[in-house]
Structure 1
């Protein structure tokens, strides 16, 4: 179940039969690639609870009108979209979609850590997260992603959440781009990163020191010999 579905189903105004109808029936139809149509008899039988001790054989049943009300609940919650037939009093045989089945939002539950795997990809929150970390351009090459995945595949003892893996990836991009910005100088046939300037006296200060040494040496030569 996606975090968006969990958040919508947890709403206190959504009835228990509506939650059951969505999670055990409508969602199953879509995930099993069955025809996404609202079949009232099938869904009514699926919600019915058998009770052998009851003369009718059921301890819980829903009517067609109640099914329509349950669909209305799910549509108000944003969990269901029905392609309504004009001037129809019900939704029988209408096509439907589950908008939140593929929508991703942050879950109210903690994310479960996992190992790095070959199919890992950053999600849609990467650009915003990168900006918070000082990386304005969150675009990347597949080579960069491949190197990142390969590096962490070699460390199967590391388990992180999706958010933590993205932070690691952003730090990798930031480091690579910092190195790429360093000026290059030629040494023979190779290009190497220029070494940072060493701290010390400026060129003008060094000239003044050399001049002072030269004057001191000249003064010493001009002193008379008292012996």
Structure 2
């Protein structure tokens, strides 16, 4: 369940049968790629609670009017969108859509930490988070991402939330870009920034040295 769905389902004005209808039937239909149409008999059976001791065989059932009211609750909570037929008071056989099923918003609950895995990817909040960390360009390539994942796959004892993993990834991008701007040379197993190369005497100094040499040669050795 996405954080957006959780937040909407937790609204105190949403009834328990409406929550059950969404989580046990409507959501399952969409996730199973089944025909997304509101079938009243099928939805009614999904909500019915069997009680053998009751004469009717059920301790809870809903009729068409009650089912429509539950669907209205879900639409008011923005969990459900129905392509309703204006000529009917019910939504039987109407196509529907669950807009929050793929929408990501921050949950009121803390994110659950997890280990790094091969399918990990930064989410759409990366650019804004990167700017807060001083990284204006949040673009990255597969090499950047692959090295980051490979590094943390080797540390399975580390558990972080999605937000914390993205902060780590941003710091890695920042470090890699800084390192690319520095000329590096390899010494043994370490990469170090080479010391500045001595450029030798200046041109003026070289001219003075050559003039001194010529003067010494012209004088020759001293004779007693």
Q: TM class by shorter-chain length?
A: 0.7 to 0.9
Query: What is the aligned partner in structure 2 of residue 141 from structure 1?
Result: 141
**Is the counterpart of residue 59 in structure 1 residue 64 in structure 2?**
no
Aligned residue number for residue 34 of structure 2:
34
Q: Residue 77 of structure 1 corresponds to which residue in structure 2?
A: 77
Q: TM-score, normalised by structure 1?
A: 0.79
Correspondence 1:110 to 2:110: yes
Mean CA deviation greater in 42-51 or 14-23: 42-51
Q: Deviations over 1:155-182 (max 9, x none)?
A: 1221111111111000001111112233
Residue 24 of structure 2 corresponds to 24
Structure 2 SS opposite 1:100: coil
Offset from partner CA, 1:100-129 (integer Å, 9 cap, x none): 111111112221211111111001111111
Give the gaps of 5 or more residues in structure 2.
186-191, 197-224
Deviation at 1:15, TM superposition (A): 0.7
- For 2:211, the equivalent position in structure 1 comes to none
The answer for the alignment partner of 1:68 in structure 2 is: 68
- Structure 1 runs of 4+ off > 4 angstroms? 192-196
Task: Give the Cα separation in 1 of the matches to 2:5 and 2:63.
Answer: 26
Describe the SS at the equivalent of 1:59.
Answer: strand
1:45 corresponding residue in structure 2: 45
In the TM superposition, what is the alpha-carbon distance from 1:97 to its structure 2 partner?
Answer: 0.9
Q: Number of residue pairs matched?
A: 191
Q: Which residue of 1 aligns with 2:168?
A: 168
CA distance in 1 between counterparts of 2:166 and 2:195 reads 31
Q: What is the CA–CA distance in structure 2 between the aligned matches of 1:156 and 1:42, rounded to whole Å? A: 45
- The CA distance in 2 between the partners of 1:71 and 1:82, in whole Å, is 9
Alpha-carbon shift at residue 35 of structure 1 (Å): 1.1
Q: Which residues of structure 1 form unaligned runs of 5+?
A: 186-191, 197-227
Instruction: Give the SS at the match of 1:25.
Output: helix
Whole-Å separation in 2 of the counterparts to 1:60 and 1:184? 73
Looking at structure 2, the residues matched to 110 and 91 of structure 1 have their Cα atoms a distance apart, in angstroms, of: 37
Are the counterparts in 2 of residues 51 and 59 from structure 1 also a CA contact under 8 Å?
yes
Per the normalisation by structure 2, the TM-score is 0.80
